[in-house]
Amino acid sequence: MTLRFRKAFLLTRKELKESFRSREVILVITLMPLMFAVLMPLTIPLVSRTIPSESFDDSDFENFPPLVPFWDELDSKAQFLVFYSMLFFGTFLLLPMILPMVIATDSIAGERERKTIESLIASPLSTGEIVLGKLMTTMIPSVLVTWFSGIVFMVITDLFLYNDVGRLIFPNLMSMVLLFGLSPFFSLITTQTMIIVSTRATGMREAQQLGSLVVLPLYSFVLGEAAILILLSPYWTLVSSAVLLICTIILHVINLKVFDREYMIAAIRG
């Protein structure tokens, strides 16, 4: 059966309108980026002022792999601040995973909870179109908000680091690959996982609780991916990205199987 993208997008458009009228979704989609993109880099000048240059030794970061191309030209304090900012960038990668958690649970478990799923299942949409529509509902805002927040994060970090480092550390190849190349994958893998969790959970609360349990191990996978990119080589990044892609395809196939029409309305069986 052919997948009608236009039909799936109709569902996405409706879901986005609905999601953006949810207080919980709006709160998460505004507060989380604010925390990750603005509040975290705000600590850089604070750290810079609190720790004097004298407390660093030249050998402190001597054995560290170069985190930026001009790494060797930096003094130890600047190297520490770059390292500190990169740690935050790693933490920032939680954002493309947290946003899908909230949007996907509202879109699927929420739909079951509000008992609107039956009219959708009774419509001429195929299961694949419903899953694709839900996937796009979660992916579009998650990716766009992550990209926008990433740019804000980089601008603010550069602004605060410039005094100590004397150069702009962002944008660089690693941050571009992570933000624009890999973070959509991180969102996708979380979304796929959350769709599976949401279709099996009895309500939104349960879906979110289960989702948190699932997302934490996923985050270690994401950090591993970022570490490979920073510490190893583009070749290994490509290999690990291929693994990531295979995982999302497997998850999508599982999704189509677990999105069982009968099970979805089982809770509202009459």
Partner 1 sequence: MIEAENLTKFYGEFLAVDHISFNIKEGEIFGFLGPNGAGKTTTIRMLAAIFPPSEGTATINGNDVVNNSIEVRKQVGILSENPGLYERLSARANLDFFARLYDVPKDQIDIRIDFLGDLFDLRTRLDERVGTYSKGMKQKLAIARALIHDPPVLFLDEPTSALSPEAAKSIRDLLVDLAKDRSRTICICTHNLFDAERLCDRVAIIRNGKILTVGTPGEISSKFSGPPTIRISFTKLDTNITQLLNDIEGVFSVEQHPVKKEVFIKVENHEINTPKIVKEIVANNGEILEIEPIHASLEEAYLKLIMEDSLNDTKI
Name the residues that contact partner 1, by CB under 8 A: 1, 7, 10-11, 14, 17-18, 21-22, 114-119, 121-126, 261-262, 265-266, 268-270
Nearer to partner 1, 108 or 244 (CB): 108
- C-alpha 250/C-alpha 21 separation (Å) is 32
- C-alpha 234/C-alpha 56 separation (Å) is 32
C-beta of 116: minimal distance to partner 1 in Å? 5
- C-alpha 127/C-alpha 108 separation (Å) is 13
C-beta of 191: minimal distance to partner 1 in Å? 21
Question: Is the backbone of residue 96 left (phi > 0), alpha (psi -120 to 50) or beta?
Answer: alpha
Nearer to partner 1, 52 or 124 (CB): 124
C-beta of 1: minimal distance to partner 1 in Å? 8
Q: First CA to last CA across the chain, in angstroms?
A: 30
Nearer to partner 1, 1 or 213 (CB): 1
C-beta of 118: minimal distance to partner 1 in Å? 5
Nearer to partner 1, 79 or 137 (CB): 137
Nearer to partner 1, 46 or 122 (CB): 122
| Maximum separation of any 2 CA atoms in the chain, in Å | 73
**3-class SS string, 78-103:** HHHHHHHHHHHHHHHCCHHHHHHHHH
C-beta of 16: minimal distance to partner 1 in Å? 11
